[in-house]
Amino acid sequence: MTLDLTLEDSRWTILPPLADRAISATLAQMGLDPEICEISLLGCDDDRIAALNAEFRDKPAPTNVLSWPAEDLAAEEPGGEPFAPEADFTGAIPLGDIAIAFDTCQREAVAAGKPMDDHVTHLIVHGLLHLLGYDHIRDEDATLMEGLESQILGNLGLDDPYTME
């Protein structure tokens, strides 16, 4: 896999190994060859992600993760499987870009009583599924996406983030 990792915030020391693990597990689950997939990942702080959120979503506030798919793979029918990504003329599959904010991730992990590593792994899986055409706006799509997230995280030995304890 080609992972273009940019760490703008020095607190993101955990991001490189978590990203490799989460992305590899997600691509394997989706039947994609990681050797030809290309992804960019930005590890930033709340100020940077708030600026990106304002610029691209017209929401001037921090969020945990943002994704920019290289192409729209979304299913046309609610709850349907997204279209499979295809290789470009170089043989690579460019999937897109993800940004993740340390401050928000840390706050959310503490509030939920979860290890930061587990929460960040979940958000990377979540962001990558967005690049692959999954979404959670419509209920049927959310059910499909959350089920995949739970399965991928379970395969990594992590708790289901959607079950209440």
Residue 142 half-sphere exposure toward CB, CA atoms < 13 A: 5
Annotated binding site for Zn(2+): 126, 130, 136
Nearest 5°: the CA angle 59, 65, 66 is: 60
| Residue found by looking up tokens 């930005």 in the block | 42
First to last CA, the chain: 35
Given the structure tokens 């989706």, which residue do they identify?
30
Q: Which helix (H) or strand (E) holds 126?
A: helix 116-131
Binding positions:
126, 130, 136
Give strand ranges (E) for 64-150: 65-69, 93-101
What's CA 149's distance to the chain center, in Å? Answer: 10
Fill in the DSSP letter of residue 79.
Answer: T
